[in-house]
Chains A and B, each alone.
Chain A
């Protein structure tokens, strides 16, 4: 097999693996594949409704655009790019650390530079492919309302996908060089999480500090932003102009993306093999534990709780995975701080944000404590009833949620006692709902599989999300329109009951 044929053969192999992995992630198992594909198509179709609600009114935008419009479109594209970069950094890190086939590849007589070039292209394709999929409802809505010129937005997605992959590879390889393989994994994952959420949160913080609202558009459409923005002919606006139908600029962007990715492949592919070898050669350093014992006696339940809390505290990777959810608490916390000095109705918005964040965080923690038990056999053979094991694990979730949210609720109490009480109740109910769903849909898994916990049960994931949203809405309505809160709460309770009814624990 010549070099080109070998490259093509390896590319086919990578595409097949990526396709099967994606299918498995989306469908869970072979038996449910047809149903899952139909559900995905229905979901994609339904997604056109929120897409229409969000951007339908912008379909008539046409060149030439003013600065406020250019700023909003550019910021949106930058947000998409930041999310793609976040995903690409995770993918590149996985290439280095997922040892499943690297030993085989490294020990084969294949040209490693070629092999890793294919892997880089595969990362770029997967990142771009996912972004194309997610952007389709939005572009469809714009093209339907404003004409086919909006289809060029797909080209922008491809261009930014290519550049995100290129930058991700450069960042990850540089991290290897700067801090070494043993720390890169954690740092890369934290960087990915922070990049993913950072931009949107920074905008919210700016909006709160300047205008006292959670709206991102308040900052982007302000006179101050327009004053600081570059001139209308600046290349900074190219992505926005390309998205709206400027073919020349679009061609330049796609070409730029391809050149950048090509350059990164030329520079870094030959070094990938060396980097992978250095990862493999670096034994994980022995990390000391605390000399003082963490298990100082007490009841068996206390021992279990101490273990769960210790494992959470000692796993910065898991902490970084939860960071995204906690980062979203920064803007409401900031808004709360502002509300001390200025009375504002906007403080009502804090309640649903806190309740939803609590529900999401509780879901993750409940999965870790209930399903992500690394020594499941040990705990199952311990001489205590399984109900007490479950209770101890749920108590840990409640303790962590209380520790995270109690300061916010206490601060809220200074602004409004009633709102604080409703928020606290909302947090408790959302936490118990999330924990209950995890309990009904529990599976035995390793904690390291946390990132893929959603794939084990789509139903549990959707139920958890809907319940979080439902309790958040109920809490918000309880503060503003109590009668509507009763209806919202009843609907959420029905969703929860239906989830229980169809859960494996019940059937």
Chain B
């Protein structure tokens, strides 16, 4: 039986600032799954994902993205990956279309391929009337949608999102969720941190809970319930119980 390459495989990932932010973390995300990473503020979610995205150098550990050693060959890993942070990273003086063309250029996508893809992406996020307006007057939600479209325009195989739904209205959030689900259906892998547990409950194939830089629970919603010993518990109750238990143990 041929071995299936994981979308993300993290082993012994460690990062220390004043105190350990990520503590010998092991994490595996399968190809084509929607993985939600949950945790209280300061648990190490963003630090973990920033190390995976190549934005932060780990003190120790390995990161493998679809079989590519991301620390040894970061350029190859970045080519198939996209990162969306909670603060939209866009340029005020560019239009959404120009921004997407710039991103496509950075990923080396042929403009004849990227131009129609950019138009379609922006239209699917409800930004068609604003294609040629500079982003400087956009609301946070609109900026977040432009950033998300930028992450998708080069057709990544792994999308990492840090709180992507922050600041979005209900309709925009639905647009984004729809787009992400569509990507997962087409074989892409999505890893997302969120504080909106309902989103994780409804969208994620598997959920990981991180506390004090360590993975304290992982599995499907059903598996998490089984681990918790109660089948009728909500994700919110389980999350609070896990985090409280971890805090008490610390």
Contacts and interface: CB of A to CB of B under 8 A. Distances in A.
Contacts, number: 110
A99 to B, nearest CB: 14
Interface in B90-137: 90-95, 97-98, 101-108, 110-111, 115, 130, 132-134, 136-137
Contacts of B101: 293-295
Contacts of A289: 94-95, 97-98, 132-134
| Top 6 A-B pairs, shortest CB-CB distance | A303-B105, A289-B95, A383-B79, A375-B89, A383-B78, A314-B93
Contacts of A83: none
A379 B92 CA distance: 15
Interface stretch (A64-72, A134-142, A224-232, A304-312): A304-312
Given A284-B136, A286-B133, A289-B132, A295 B90 contact: no
Given A293-B101, A294-B98, A384 B75 contact: yes
Contacts of B85: 377
Contacts of B76: 383
A412 to B, nearest CB: 34
Contact of B102 (A283, A303, A314): A303
A31 interface: no
A374 B89 contact: yes
Nearest to A379: B106
B55 A381 contact: yes
B85 to A, nearest CB: 5
Contacts of B134: 286-289, 314
B191 interface: no
Contact of A381 (B81, B97, B115): B81
Contacts of B79: 383
B81 A311 contact: no
Interface string A471-491: 000000000000000000000
Interface of A is mostly: loop
B83 interface: yes
B78 A382 contact: yes
Contacts of A452: none
A315 interface: yes
A285 B55 contact: no
Nearest to B111: A297
Contacts of B107: 300, 382-383
B111 A288 contact: no
B150 interface: yes
A300 to B, nearest CB: 6
Nearest to A298: B105
16 contacts: A285-B137, A287-B133, A288-B133, A289-B98, A293-B111, A294-B94, A295-B98, A295-B105, A295-B111, A306-B105, A310-B93, A374-B91, A380-B54, A382-B78, A382-B107, A383-B107
A296 B137 CA distance: 25
B243 interface: no
Contacts of B130: 286
Contacts of A290: 98
Interface of B: 53-55, 75-76, 78-79, 81-83, 85, 89-95, 97-98, 101-108, 110-111, 115, 130, 132-134, 136-137, 150
Looking at A307, A314, A385, which has the most chain B CB atoms within 10 Å of its CB?
Answer: A307
Interface in A287-345: 287-291, 293-298, 300, 302-304, 306-307, 310-311, 314-315
B114 to A, nearest CB: 9
A378 B89 contact: yes
B91 A375 contact: yes
Contacts of A302: 105
A382 to B, nearest CB: 4
A61 interface: no
A383 B74 CA distance: 8
Contact of B106 (A285, A288, A296, A303): A303
Contact of A296 (B78, B103, B111, B136): B111
Given A286-B134, A381-B83, A374 B102 contact: no
A376 interface: yes
Interface in A212-233: none
Interface string A119-137: 0000000000000000000
B103 A381 contact: no
| Most chain B CB within a 10 A radius of its CB, from A303, A310, A381 | A381
B35 to A, nearest CB: 18
Interface in A419-439: none
A311 B93 contact: yes
| Chain B CB within 10 Å, residue with most, of A293, A374, A378 | A378
Given A300-B108, A378-B103, A283 B89 contact: no
B211 to A, nearest CB: 25
A376 B89 contact: yes
Contact of A311 (B55, B94, B111, B132): B94
Contacts of B89: 374-378
Contact of B55 (A293, A296, A380): A380
A7 B85 CA distance: 43
Contacts of B103: 378, 382
Contacts of B53: 377, 381
A293 B115 contact: yes
B74 to A, nearest CB: 8
Nearest to A448: B92
A182 to B, nearest CB: 10
Nearest to A377: B89
Contact of A304 (B98, B106, B132, B150): B106
B106 A382 contact: yes
Nearest to A284: B137
A285 B137 CA distance: 7
Nearest to B105: A303
Given A289-B134, A297-B110, A383-B79, 20 more contacts: A284-B137, A286-B137, A288-B132, A288-B134, A289-B94, A289-B97, A289-B133, A295-B98, A295-B105, A306-B102, A307-B102, A310-B94, A310-B98, A311-B93, A374-B89, A374-B92, A378-B89, A381-B53, A381-B83, A382-B106
Contacts of B98: 289-290, 293-295, 310
Contact of B137 (A287, A314, A381): A287
A137 to B, nearest CB: 41
Contact of B105 (A287, A300, A311, A314): A300
Contacts of B55: 377, 380-381
Contact of B54 (A296, A306, A314, A381): A381
Contacts of A382: 78, 103, 106-107
A260 B121 CA distance: 58
Contacts of B54: 380-381
Contacts of A295: 98, 101-102, 104-105, 111
Nearest to B150: A378
A302 B111 CA distance: 13
